[in-house]
């Protein structure tokens, strides 16, 4: 597996968004710009000191490529959370933080569609990047459904108002404030969502909120393959310290060698797949630019669709049964179970 490249980014600004959320803006040196080009909805992985050692944590980019000149992440404090509190307390203008290049598949393939964007709390960060890209670089329309605990917790309120004023025909924002509207339920979300027509859905927020949203979308028979979900899990391993440790070493029954046929960006390639290698390693060893981040089954940055054959996932902490039934797999965790496996990054 190719070791990730570590970069040092300088903090240009820290913005207090709400009482418990800070944005950290990174300035890029000219030589860093190419490696840090990104797609709306992608995230950075940060190296954070902790207790004499360190942690790696992913944070979505709230900035939009080709619209915002700098990269911005927005971090919400988690109660007793190690990384989020360190960033909120210690990230300062002028400081340098080690960061991996942008990654992630929570990104629209085209910006000319009708989008329903569903965000809960800090889940607004990747959603904001997508929203600004659709409005600023595409021709699509956006309905944003944005849930928060109370009025004071709403991140990016002023920016959203500004965008609403600028794009009144293409953007609508529905706020759900738990302190007055109550907890969102799938029935109430279903009523809400069925009032709109949309082609593509992006969902990011706390687990129970996303489950409600998924149930509501299922109830209105919205196709699963057009629902994109980002889960904010903490990484267990540290790709900055040990790439090998991040691969996981659990012994599994060694399956047969196989052949994998890969569809990506409209092209098809075929590779032999030794039975003891994870699919992601096979793809990168063969020179493919396969998306990934944690390499430990936590972030879903490496997901693709299985269109033929079967695989076993060594560790899966992010895909749900419904995702797996719909054919999604984690390439960083997949070992082959059939002689031929076909996957697609395009469908
Ligand atoms: C792709 C991706 C994008 C993300 N984007 C964002 C973003 O834009 N903004 C954002 O705010 N977050 C984002 N996250 C989440 C972020 O990466 C962290 O998971 C989050 O900040 C919490 O990390 P932490 O280190 O503060 O908490 P952790 O230290 O990981 O703790 C998390 C919880 O576990 C509990 N805990 C910790 N250690 C123990 C223990 N030993 N025993 C029992 N309980 C324990 C803590 O009390 C806390 O409640 C993203 C995650 C991913 C995967
Ligand atoms: S790279 Fe994170 S789950 Fe595979």
What does the DSSP 8-state code read for residue 124?
A: H
Alpha carbons 51 and 41: distance in angstroms, whole number: 31
Q: How many CB atoms lie within 10 A of CB 97?
A: 20
Cα of 178 vs centre of ligand 2, distance in Å, is 32
Cα of 300 vs centre of ligand 2, distance in Å, is 5
- Ligand 2 neighbourhood includes 301 CB (under 6 angstroms): yes
Question: Where does CATH 2.40.30.10 sit in the chain?
Answer: 6-103
Cα of 83 vs centre of ligand 1, distance in Å, is 7
- Ligand 1 neighbourhood includes 57 CB (under 6 angstroms): yes
Q: What is the homologous superfamily of the domain 247-344 according to CATH?
A: Beta-grasp domain (3.10.20.30)
pLDDT tens for each residue of 35-47: 999 999 999 999 9
- What are phi and psi for residue 123, nearest 5 degrees? -60, -5
Ligand nearest to the CA of 329: 2
Which ligand 2 atom is the nearest neighbour of the CA of 298?
3
Q: Name the closest-CA residue to atom 3, ligand 2.
A: 297
The predicted model scores a pTM of 0.85
Cα of 104 vs centre of ligand 2, distance in Å, is 9
- Would the pLDDT of 282 be above 70? yes
Q: Which two tokens stand for residue 335?
A: 């070992």
Q: Where are the beta strands (DSSP E) in 159-290?
A: 171-177, 200-204, 227-230, 258-264, 267-273
Specify the higher pLDDT residue, 142 or 289: 142
Alpha carbons 343 and 345: distance in angstroms, whole number: 7
Ligand nearest to the CA of 106: 1
Residues 6 or more apart whose CB falls under 8 angstroms from that of 181 comprise none
Cα of 106 vs centre of ligand 1, distance in Å, is 18
Kindly indicate the confidence band of residue 206, based on its pLDDT and cuts at 50, 70 and 90.
very high
Which ligand 1 atom is the nearest neighbour of the CA of 48?
25
Q: 228 and 48 in contact (C-beta within 8 Å)?
A: no
pLDDT tens for each residue of 182-205: 999 999 999 999 998 999 999 999
Q: Helix 124-137 to helix 157-166 angle, to the nearest 10 degrees? A: 20
Q: 222 and 143 in contact (C-beta within 8 Å)?
A: no
Closest CA to 204 of 275, 144, 114: 144
Ligand nearest to the CA of 4: 2
- Would the pLDDT of 129 be above 60? yes
Alpha carbons 151 and 9: distance in angstroms, whole number: 33
The alpha carbons of the chain give a radius of gyration, in whole angstroms, of 20
Ligand nearest to the CA of 104: 1
- Ligand 2 neighbourhood includes 297 CB (under 6 angstroms): yes
- Ligand 2 neighbourhood includes 118 CB (under 6 angstroms): no
Cα of 339 vs centre of ligand 2, distance in Å, is 24
- Ligand 2 neighbourhood includes 235 CB (under 6 angstroms): no
Q: At the topology level of CATH, where does 114-230 sit?
A: Rossmann fold (3.40.50)
Q: What percent of the chain has pLDDT over 90?
A: 77
Instruction: Report CA-CA distances (Å) from 107 to 41, 42, 208, 330, 346.
Output: 5, 7, 22, 17, 12
Alpha carbons 118 and 96: distance in angstroms, whole number: 33
Instruction: Report CA-CA distances (Å) from 180 to 78, 176, 209, 216, 261.
Output: 23, 8, 16, 21, 52
3-state class (DSSP) for residue 295 = coil
Question: Where does CATH 3.40.50.80 sit in the chain?
Answer: 114-230
3-state class (DSSP) for residue 194 = coil
6-103: CATH, from 2.40.30.10, 1.10.579.10, 3.40.1010.10, 3.40.50.2300: 2.40.30.10
Alpha carbons 115 and 215: distance in angstroms, whole number: 18
């Amino acid at each position: 597996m190719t070791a990730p490249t570590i970069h040092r980014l300088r903090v240009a600004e820290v913005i207090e968004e709400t009482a418990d959320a800070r944005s950290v803006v990174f300035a890029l040196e000219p030589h860093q710009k190419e490696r840090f080009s990104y797609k709306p909805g992608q995230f950075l992985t940060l190296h954070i000191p902790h207790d004499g050692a360190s942690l790696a944590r992913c944070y979505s980019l709230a900035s939009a490529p080709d619209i915002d000149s700098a990269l911005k992440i927005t971090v919400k404090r988690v109660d007793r959370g190690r990384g989020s509190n360190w960033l909120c307390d210690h990230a300062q203008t002028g400081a340098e933080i080690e960061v991996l290049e942008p990654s992630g598949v929570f990104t629209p393939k085209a910006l000319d569609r009708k989008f329903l964007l569903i965000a809960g709390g800090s889940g607004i960060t990747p959603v904001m990047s997508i929203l600004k890209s659709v409005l600023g670089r595409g021709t699509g329309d956006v309905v944003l459904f944005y849930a928060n605990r109370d009025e004071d917790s709403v991140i990016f309120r002023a920016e959203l108002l500004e965008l609403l004023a600028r794009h009144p025909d293409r953007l609508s924002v529905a706020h759900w404030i738990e302190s007055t509207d109550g907890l969102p339920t799938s029935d109430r979300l279903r009523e809400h969502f069925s009032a709109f027509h949309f082609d593509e859905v992006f969902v990011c927020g706390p687990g129970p909120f996303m489950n409600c949203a998924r149930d509501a979308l299922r109830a209105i028979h919205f196709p699963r393959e057009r629902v994109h979900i980002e889960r904010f899990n903490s990484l267990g391993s540290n790709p900055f310290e040990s790439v090998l440790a991040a691969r996981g070493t659990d012994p599994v029954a060694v399956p047969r060698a196989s052949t994998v046929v890969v569809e990506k960006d409209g092209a098809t390639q075929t590779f032999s797949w030794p039975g003891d290698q994870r699919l992601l390693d096979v793809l990168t060893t063969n020179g493919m630019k396969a998306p990934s981040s944690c390499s430990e089954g936590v972030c879903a940055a490496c997901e693709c669709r299985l269109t033929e054959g079967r695989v076993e996932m060594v560790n899966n902490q992010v895909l749900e049964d419904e995702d797996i039934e719909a054919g999604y797999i984690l390439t960083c965790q997949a070992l082959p179970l059939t002689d031929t496996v076909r996957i697609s990054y395009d469908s």
